[in-house]
Amino acid sequence: MPNLKVTLLQQPLVWMDGPANLRHFDRQLEGIQGRDVIVLPEMFTTGFAMEAATQSLPEEDVVAWMHEKAKQADALIAGSAALQTERGPVNRFLLVEPEGKVHRYDKRHLFRMADEHHHYEAGNERVVFGWRGWRILPLVCYDLRFPVWSRNRDDYDLALYVANWPAPRSLHWQALLTARAIENQAYVVGCNRVGTDGNGHHYRGDSRVINPQGDIIGTAEAHQATRIDAELSLAALKEYREKFPAWQDADAFTLD
Q: What is the set of active-site residues? A: 42, 107, 141
Task: Give which of 127, 128, 59 is closest to 89, Cα–Cα.
Answer: 59
CA distance 168 to 12: 17
d(CA 222, CA 245): 35
3-state SS, one letter per residue, for the chain: CCEEEEEEEECCCCCCCHHHHHHHHHHHHCCCCCCCEEECCCCCCCCCCCCHHHHCCCHHHHHHHHHHHHHHHCCEEEEEEEEEECCEEEEEEEEECCCCCEEEEECCCCCHHHCHHHHCCCCCCCCCEEECCEEEEEEEHHHHHCCCCCCCCCCCCEEEEEECCCHHHHHHHHHHHHHHHHHHCCEEEEEECCEECCCCCEECCCCEEECCCCCEEEECCCCCCEEEEEEEEHHHHHHHHHHCCHHHHCCCCCCC
